[in-house]
Structure 1
Amino acid sequence: MSGPKAVLVTGGAGFIGSHTCVELLEHGYEVCIVDNYSNSSPAAPTRVEKVAGRPLLGVYEADVRDRQALSAILAENTIDAVIHFAGRKAVGESVWIPVDYYDTNVGGTTSLLRSMRENGVHHLVFSSSCSIYGEAARVPIDEQAPPRPTNPYARSKWMCEQIIADACRQHPELAAYSLRYFNPIGAHPGGLLGEDPRGVPQNVMPYLMQVAVGRLERLSIFGRDYATADGTAVRDYIHVMDVAQAHRIALERLDEVTGLDILNLGTGVGTSVLELVRTVSATCGKSLPYDIVERRQGDVAELVADPGAAARKWGWRTTRSLATMCRDAWRFQLLNPAGFDDDLPEPAAVPTARSFGTPDLTTRTPAN
């Protein structure tokens, strides 16, 4: 996609969406946000503009399942491409309310595809998930691993990919990337943007951050009897700014794509939940309390990416260490102890890992 383009970002006020909007604005794109704020804050777009130093093309409160609203937004802003983040994303919650997950994730995607078709928009980057792989037979996991989703969230993402693939077959002008990223954490290094879910966090890093600032008492670690080094689940954590950069690169490379192309986004390094707790504790300078509880339905033992395909196709790899992810997440939480409900803070100077007491993990190598 040559030259500045207008991009619609669904779920653009959310954690990954807001950071991606900054990345796009800083690279000359015109950016329009659609979000229903079910798990995000209306304050996020204002912070996006402050961080990027540029205004957004538009900000709309709407649900992606509202096809009439989406079509009007696409038409009004002459959109060239869409990055689709909007959806529910918690494994545990999806087990309890599966129909809600299918309604939002699958229904939102079909609504978006129809609206794009009606308005002649033929470029799409879809926010997918490593959870599609489930209990993979081999780790690290490459894109050829067969899908084995173990929970409604993962199944909804896999269904969306199949729907997009079918749409591409029916309409050859449609080109799409599905980015299966592993576990995004961290925050923008300036401290104005980070992860601030509504209610009790459903993901481990924002939960740990709220324990660290006293909003929550202690973390529950789901299971310590997995076949891993310390018995806790192992995940491939990736900095949200690396994820944001990859979405921008995907937009730039869509002209090379025919149909749907699927890529993993990850570091290739696995970290157990207990290792993450220790690293976060070192970062914030205090031991964070936790309890070991029963396994959570739908979880798997190990999800670690083989990121080689993105490196071969794009020449792209992640650049930020686990220490940096924890440091940036902690800076956001320190500056925003009540999340986006706080007044807009001034950007913070970037401290070194040493000043935060964070162990240097930059020399860790990807698993073979």
Structure 2
Amino acid sequence: MPDPSTTRLALYKSKSDGSELVNYSQDIGQNWDKVDTAVGYQSCTSSTRPSSPYSGKPIFETDTSYRTFFSNGTSPASASWVEIPNGSASFNSTLRLASGKQINVNGSGSSATLAVVNAATTTDLLSARVTGDTQDRFEIETDGTLNWGAGASTAPDTNLFRSAANTLRTNDSLTVDLNLTVSGSAAITGATTVGGALTVTGNVNSAANLGMGAWTSWTPTWTTSSGAATPSYGNATVDCKYVRIGRTIIFRFDITFGSTTNFGTSPGTGDNWLFSLPVTPAAAAGSSICMMALRQSNAAALMARARIASTGTDMILSINSARVDAGAITNTGDVDSVSPWTWASSNELHAVGQYEAAS
């Protein structure tokens, strides 16, 4: 009987007492063939892995872009394969690091778990896509800039980055659905939408105090409730502006009629004036917006109540007082081209008001 074969490659061993003659094919040739087969990684496919591997046996698979494995010697053999990461195939297992160890790219001196050195601040450190995307849905650049996008073929379009010491900034819009708390000062140069409460324990600062910027000019559309006897401004001076703070609309309304102002063809007391509002109001028709001064001259002036018209987007004026000089007025009711007097060049309308926007 020969001596027991080797445990890993099953190499044949003749009797050690010298009683067995050496057989070249058996003792040398076949053994070297086994050694030659075992050297390096054995080529196979994912379905033809060795069925009886020795512990430490390395293989690579030709049908999986050369994923590499070694056998840990456990049974069954099919469960003994441990994947080895390489630069050719996608790693298909879990890579675990012990606590305190790191993944270090390009010799970073950082002790972070993931430590990377890139040549430029704009080089992407991390990106995320879903299958089929040709553009990233999320990116982290080396300087910490965060970029978001819709994916597919659309490049990222939203960002958040450090713009200066102790300052985070976005070039895009920010919507807060719940509460926003500012412990310092809030400087707002554009629009800020807060779905919940906005709490500022410091100051709200900007060139326009509340940070809304300059007021917006608007030219009210001037029509009538009947659709007839439609007037037009001509060379009237129309100086109307508004500002929006959340859903609050504050407006200034100043109109001085000119020599070419047209007050409509054959106007009557049923052709009541309508002036469009800058933003659709939330309140129903009939709700008051402001008091408006109607001025024919220094002495001939009175007040009217501006209310939301039945159109829901205009205001209509109700004569609300007598003339300040106690002079007679031609007609009462709602203001039109002949009420409270027959309007003419240099007559004026003035008001400051506010209301809630519909959205």
- Structure with the bigger RCO (C-alpha within 8 Å, sep 6+) is 1
Instruction: Pick the structure with more helix per residue.
Output: 1
Same fold (TM over 0.5): no
After TM superposition, the score normalised by the length of structure 1 is 0.17
Structure with the larger strand share:
2
